[in-house]
Structure 1
């Protein structure tokens, strides 16, 4: 209480501190950020003002350049037009033209920069200031324009490839007329685009400045871009024409299609000719020096900002660290107060120092839950004070061993605590050394492992059951990938664990044979939690294996699938016994062919197939002739041998798809499916009679035996199996009455008679 009152008094009188107030701590960085923001605002506003001033000056310079280029183009076009007018006048006044004279008198330029051509009304070049071969221009657009009507104006063509020179040229042409004003031809002056852009040789143009001569049709006649003439198309022509129709003089900014450079474009529409001149200067070139100065200013501002931020950052960091250090001290104090009590193991520390030897200096609350001894009962006392004699003496013996050989002790101890079942405890004892290397304390960590040992015993028992059970067990994960098989599995299937573990069961050597049924079983297992079924598999050596499987799903607490457990029981012996019982119940014990029950079943199935497929079927009733005489004279043993031989010969006379059975005594029935006509049954009967022609050798006796056969046809003789069998029997008796050793078909009219 005294310490608490002193602490409150200090809080009342201490001065304001940034590190002691939550919100004031962030005033330092906030003030630094305000200074940086103000610096950048002033810098940015100044740079914006300077940039606008320079852009305005560059606009004025570009407009002056456009005005100068306009004057040049007016004069250049006018000079060419004067020559065209002179030639036109000379031709229309004289009726002919003496071009060499005009060239000698200097009225027509002969330097080669301008080439004059005279074409007649048919488009044939009749005179030219430069020598070349003969060619015709009647298909040229400018020629057809003059031929169709007399506009009285100078026409300036789009750039074309000259037929005389093969170069890109522009033609300035006028129409020439006969005295009756009919079309006499044209005078054209061919100039290269350089003729118009020669202005740049005298002008002080920048590296990225452009000049252009644009027709009102939206096509550039000449253009100078970045130091050279170009014929590259520019999609901005039509937009500029539209702009010039509204404002004959103006400027704008655009990015060039030719080189992608942003420029300030000034334009002027010519007053006397249908053209627009343009002059453009690169914005980047105009602001190149400004950008350099701006980078310098920004660098200085960044450096100053960095200094401000670093200064306030360092100050803030020190303040934050001081605050965190104080908070850590509080946290460590609370941590040390609660750590020992919150450790799930029983933690104790006993002194080994003289004066306090053997006494507890630390004991957490977990000891109360484990041993029933808490801090109040243990602190300041020895083991003899808090434990019964046997266990106290054990602890003291452990102390002597640890002091003699200071190292960690790992001990499992069984204790009988009052009112509790015997418990198993895991003790970890470690020395705590002093400054001179002596053992000053012994720390003990005690954990109750009674339940853990019980779980380990259960797991060990389950493992033994897993390995010793006679049934094969396969455990797979949620993806049905095998994680474990037992020894019985290897013994039953022949596959080692290495061949199965790690593989998806459906893709392993022990995969299901019935894939569709296996998928259905898995669906039922996931739905119901378990499934049982009879399945077939193949051993590693290739032999078939009949199994009864019980499959279960093991799920996590949240319901998600964890494992699949399958237990396989070998039922091969049971299946073999079942097969033999079924064989005894379905086959004739003497001849091995189907007995009366199985024969009737096959006959019903054959009748249903014939009805479904709309096909014929024959039922043959066979009875041996004189069989009773064989039994009476040679004995029943020979009679039995005869029946066996008869069954074999009958089987050799039919197809694999046909069926044969013994009704009893010496009566046999053959079912012929998919017969196309009665002749098919006749062929089989002939085959049987031929097979019976040879005598049977029975126990040293040669016995001649024949057969009488009756035949009923489905559906002519009946639709029901019993009806067919009865009518085949009737037909067989007719065969016997007719002399035996033959076959007869059932005939309804005779039978009714």
Structure 2
């Protein structure tokens, strides 16, 4: 039991070790894939943040250059505005300054009251000299803005009605008091013309926002935004931490996730920042990821298929082994359950291949009882030691023939055993390089066969005697089984109907009767098959003409009481019926005159009365008497009287 348990444990371990090993390989492989993709994603993120930081730094430098130029121009105009006293001279100065600055839309000078006193136009309209005291940039400078240049929020110009950003510087009197402002305007889109699709993609971002968190200019792809004051929550939090940095966030304006980088420009109270869309940043990564996943998915399928095939093969082999073990157990059980002796003999050959002997490799318990030897002593014994001496040479030669020709053999022989003759039937079939032998003791079978032969002979004799008796009876005797097949008829059938016994027996009942007779008599047959004794009289045409037959159907029951057939007997009562008719006539008729006698008269009178009552008609009855008839008998004798009557 212990070795069997160890065998099952080892079999189970080997059975599951292969799938577990395959699972470990797949898990390791996908763990490596996860690590590889994670590292690739992190590297892609870091590269995107680094690109965004470099782009923001370049964008800041671009803005610094622009704003410094504007700062210098406004400082120049503010300085010279103090020395030029007339509006004409101020207009000329503004036009000259604007002429070499394509980025600027206009320049104008405002006094301390907010009135525009100079415009960069040849013949400015009167509306150009309006009051701008309500503008944010004027209020900031009048309040003492600490920085020289102020970048205002985008608004629509009163004259151009277009979006502009005011870049302004305060003017001072010699005593340092507020003298007004010099204002230049720029297109907000110009502040983000740094954007190019090759660098930022189709969903990238370039934006300039003030520390008041109002967007001066914002561009993503072909879209631009000006003057929005919302959606800067993430940026505000990051600026509060450090003047420059990177982060990843989704935009509340367009909903796009980006990698962002920002830089604060404190001298202008601005924040410049750029961003790269995550979908575009990860596009190449996703392509690599898809390729890697596809490759490793195929690899996984291949590995799974390989291990599944191995597992299936292992399971199949185990199943085959179990089936082989079960087949061996069943073979042993079937072998021991046989009532016949069973041997398997393996050929013993010389080095040159000659068949020398057979060795018993298997024998069942019946074989051990047959040979009167222990089972363990029979196996591995040479066949010549097991075969009786008188049959040894013949049987060994027969076994060799079966092995060489691969043709099975069946033979019967007799052996003497305990002083009695035993009849043995032997079947030999080739099995590999050997034979399988089944030996059956048929002594009792042969004795029973002899008894059966004797019984058959006696039965045939009795049947011949019975047929001799029935053939000489003036009665038609037949036997019909439950399948309505005629199994026996006597010779009367041939005399009556001209059909031989050979063509009549073992034939269907329908072949003996025409349709009318069959339909008339089949109800009687079925009643008899149901267990009733049936008798009836019917007319049948024979070779001698129409005959009246009395038919009797007697059920034949087996030992269980079930009807297995019927005996059918038919007696010719034609002459008897004729005699009965003559007697009936004599009983009702006067023999001398042929007229109805008193009995006949009474019967006919009763019939006539019944007929008259049924038809509701009258009936006449006449009585005729012969007068003086006694004198005729007395004078001439009774014979004359009989003649007269």
User: What range is the shorter-chain TM-score in?
Assistant: 0.3 to 0.5
TM-score, with length taken from structure 2: 0.45
TM-score, with length taken from structure 1: 0.39
